[in-house]
Chain A
């Protein structure tokens, strides 16, 4: 459904099943805003490591969504599994607008 690369070259996909079953159902504010998720992954403001899942990275970008969510961050959580010695492959787990970059998350990029 979506395939892109983050600024560090990691490949990320969003699968239709996860999008429909979880994101559209539980986060209807993202309905039809697939491009905002892609923008956040390809041109994030910051990438942080999840506090409890070392195999997950969180991508945040302000103003990725239209009003009334424009003055918020769009947070996209991506789970990674190693697909070789140097490359990584990630799948979008969830995404939602939020008011701040996660407390306690460790910055990984830039």
Chain B
């Protein structure tokens, strides 16, 4: 039995996404290969937060990292990143240009990018492009 259950008493959120200009210079990307998860920190470091699922696709793999008191979104957590997320959201691959890599080398990332998106340039872009895509996804 597949379950999607919201229990009484569980907190709900009205997500407050920051303005692109507010976070552009503080963005930090981390890709963790052992858990196949991309983390995006909007304020330069990982902050205590709840992981609130975003309605991307048919199951929960993308989460906003949300301060439970202010409902301010402080980051992004994308699980199944290479396994699933990038094939449904190719723009996410841009994040690997800027990400601090854990458990995988830049060379391996280059090979993965060529395989997953052979027509995409590997030229360094602007992290703002990532934010623009994210803003469209969360509008």
Contacts and interface: CB of A to CB of B under 8 A. Distances in A.
Interface residues of A, number: 34
Interface string B60-75: 1101000011000000
Contact of B50 (A28, A94, A97): A97
Interface string B1-28: 1111111011111000000000000000
Contacts of A25: 46
Given A62-B10, A100-B6, A69 B50 contact: yes
Contact of B63 (A29, A68, A98): A98
Interface string B36-70: 01010000001111111100001111010000110
Interface stretch (A1-9, A35-43, A46-54): A46-54
A22 to B, nearest CB: 6
A48 B9 contact: no
B30 interface: yes
Interface in B59-98: 59-61, 63, 68-69, 77, 80, 83-84
Contacts of B12: 99
Interface residues of B, number: 38
A44 B62 CA distance: 23
30 contacts: A18-B34, A22-B32, A22-B34, A26-B37, A26-B46, A26-B77, A27-B46, A28-B48, A29-B48, A29-B49, A29-B50, A46-B3, A52-B80, A62-B7, A68-B68, A69-B50, A72-B11, A93-B34, A93-B35, A96-B50, A97-B50, A97-B51, A99-B13, A99-B53, A102-B60, A103-B60, A104-B58, A105-B2, A107-B1, A107-B3
Q: What 4 A-B pairs come out closest when comparing CB atoms?
A: A104-B59, A29-B48, A71-B11, A51-B59
Interface of B: 1-7, 9-13, 30, 32, 34-35, 37, 39, 46-53, 58-61, 63, 68-69, 77, 80, 83-84, 102
Interface of A: 18, 21-22, 25-29, 31, 46, 48, 51-52, 62, 68-69, 71-73, 75, 93-94, 96-107
